[in-house]
Structure 1
Amino acid sequence: MSKYLQLIAHPQELRAVLQWAIWHEPLYPRDPSKESDNLKRCYELLGYTSRSFAAVIEELAPELRQAVMLFYLVLRGLDTIEDDMTIPNPVKLPILRGFHELLTKEGWTFNGSQEKDKVVLEEFDKIIYEFSLLKPIYRDIIAEMTKRMGNGMADYCEDDDFNKKGVNTVKEYDLYCYYVAGIVGEGLTRLSVSGGSADPRLLENPHLHNSMGLFLQKTNIIRDFHEDLLDNRKFWPKEIWSKYADSMEDFVRPENIEAGVYCLSELVANALEHVPDCLYYLAAVKEQSMFNFCAIPQVMAIATLELVFHNNNVLTSQVKIRRGTSVMLIMRATSVRETYNIFQEYCHKIQARNTPKDPNYMRISIACAKVDQFIETIFPTRKEVKEKIAKEEKPEEAASTTEVLTIILLFAGTLLITSSLMLGVAWYFGARFDRAFAAIKENFLGIADAARDEL
Structure 2
Amino acid sequence: MSSDPTTHELLHGILKQVSRSFYLTLNVLPAGVRDQMGLSYLFARAADTIADTDLIDRGQRLKYLNQFRAQFRSAEIDWQAIQEIQAALIPHQKDSAESILLQRLEDCLKLYKTYSTGDQERIQWLMDVLPNGMEMDLTRFPGESAGQLTALSTLDELDQYTYYVAGCVGEFWTRMVCAHSPEMARWDVTEMSVMGVRFGKGLQLTNIVKDIARDLRNGRCYVPEPLLQEAGLQPADLLNEDSLPKFRPVLNRLIRLAVEHLNEGWKYTMAIPASEIRQRLACMWPILLAGETLKRVAIAPGLLNPAVNVKAPRSTVYRVMAITILTGANESVATACWNRVREHIV
TM bracket, shorter-chain basis: 0.7 to 0.9
Partner residue of 1:192 out of 168, 171, 177 = 177
Residues of 1 paired with 2:163 and 2:339: CA distance?
A: 26
**Equivalent of 2:200, from 210, 213, 227?**
213
1: distance between equivalents of 2:241 and 2:78? 56
322, 331, 343: which is aligned to 1:331?
322
Q: Distance in 1 between matches of 2:15 and 2:247?
A: 37
Distance 1:255 1:220 in 2: 22
Aligned to 1:243: 230
Q: Secondary structure at the match of 2:54?
A: coil
Where 1:291 maps in the other structure, the secondary structure is helix
Report the alpha carbon displacement of residue 60 of structure 1 after superposing the two structures with TM. 1.9
AA aligned to 2:202 is: F
Measured in 2, the distance between the counterparts of 1:51 and 1:242 equals 42
Partner of 1:158: 139
Q: CA deviation at 1:126?
A: 1.1
Change in Cα spacing, 1:256 to 1:58, as seen in structure 2 (3 Å) is same
Match of 1:342 among 326, 330, 337: 337
Whether contact under 8 Å (1:260, 1:312) holds in the other structure is no
Q: Are the counterparts in 2 of residues 166 and 233 from structure 1 also a CA contact under 8 Å?
A: yes
1:76 paired with 2:45, answer yes
Q: After superposition, what is the alpha-carbon deviation per residue over 1:231-261, rounded to whole angstroms, capped at 9, x for unaligned? A: 2222222222232343334245464331133
**Map of 1:234 onto structure 2:** 221
Partners of 1:223 and 1:152 in 2: how far apart? 19
Contact conserved, 1:265 with 1:310, CA < 8 A, in 2? no
Aligned-partner Cα distance in 1 for 2:122–2:300: 40
- Which residue is equivalent to 1:59? 28
Q: For residues 250 and 127 of structure 1, what CA distance do their matches in structure 2 show?
A: 44
Correspondence 1:15-414 to 2 at 5 A: 35-36=5-6, 39-102=8-71, 104-105=76-77, 107=79, 108-109=82-83, 110-113=86-89, 114-115=92-93, 116=95, 117-159=98-140, 165-196=150-181, 198=184, 199-251=186-238, 253=240, 255-286=242-273, 287-316=276-305, 317-333=308-324, 334-335=328-329, 336-351=331-346
Deviation readout 1:294-321 (Å, 9 max, x if unpaired): 2211111111111111322212222111
In 2: Cα distance, 1:245 partner to 1:51 partner: 44
Amino acid at match of 1:138: D
Report how far residue 121 of structure 1 moved. Answer: 1.7
Which has the greater radius of gyration? Answer: 1
- The residue type equivalent to 2:116 in the other structure is K
Greater shift, 104-113 or 61-70, is seen at 104-113
SS at match of 1:321: coil
**Could you tell me how far apart the structure 1 residues matched to 2:230 and 2:246 are?**
9
- How far apart, in 2, do the equivalents of 1:216 and 1:268 lie? 11
CA–CA distance in structure 2, aligned partners of residues 178 and 139 of structure 1? 21
Over residues 262-318 of structure 1, what are the superposed CA-to-partner deviations in whole Å (9 max), with x where a residue is unaligned?
Answer: 332121112122133112211222322122112211111111111111322212222
Aligned to 1:403: none
Deviations 1:371-398 (A, max 9, x none): xxxxxxxxxxxxxxxxxxxxxxxxxxxx
Query: Is the Cα–Cα contact under 8 Å of residues 99 and 150 in structure 1 kept in the other structure?
Result: no
Could you say if the C-alpha distance between residues 98 and 251 of structure 1 is closer, same or farther in structure 2, counting changes exceeding 3 Å?
Answer: closer
* Change in 2 beyond 3 A, CA 1:340/1:127: same
Alignment root-mean-square deviation, CA: 2.5
- The amino acid of 1:306's aligned partner reads K
Q: In the aligned structure 2, how far is the partner of 1:264 from the partner of 1:84? A: 30
4+ long deviations beyond 6 Å? none
Aligned 8 A contact 1:208 1:278 in 2: yes
Larger RCO (alpha carbons 8 Å, 6+ apart): 2
- Partners of 1:112 and 1:339 in 2: CA distance: 48
- Does the CA contact (< 8 Å) of 2:240 and 2:304 recur in 1? no
Q: Alpha carbons of 1:89 and 1:311: their partners in 2 closer, same or farther (altered >3 Å)?
A: closer
- What amino acid is the match of 1:270? L
Cα shift readout 1:384-433 (whole Å, capped 9, x = no counterpart): xxxxxxxxxxxxxxxxxxxxxxxxxxxxxxxxxxxxxxxxxxxxxxxxxx
C-alpha separation in 2, matches of 1:302 and 1:151: 27
CA distance in 2, matches of 1:274, 1:203: 17
Please give the secondary structure, in 2, of the residue aligned with 1:105.
coil
Unaligned stretches of 5+ in structure 1? Answer: 1-33, 352-455
Q: 1:94 to 1:207 in 2, by over 3 A?
A: same
Instruction: Mark the CA change 1:180 to 1:102 in structure 2 (over 3 Å): closer, same or farther.
Output: same
TM-score by length of 2: 0.82
Deviations 1:315-341 (A, max 9, x none): 222211110100111222333434322
AA matched with 2:343: H
TM-score by length of 1: 0.64
* More deviation, 303-312/72-81: 303-312
How many residue pairs get aligned? The number is 317
1:159/1:321 CA distance change after superposition, 3 Å: closer
The letter for the 2-side match of 1:189 is T
Runs of 5+ unmatched residues, structure 2: none
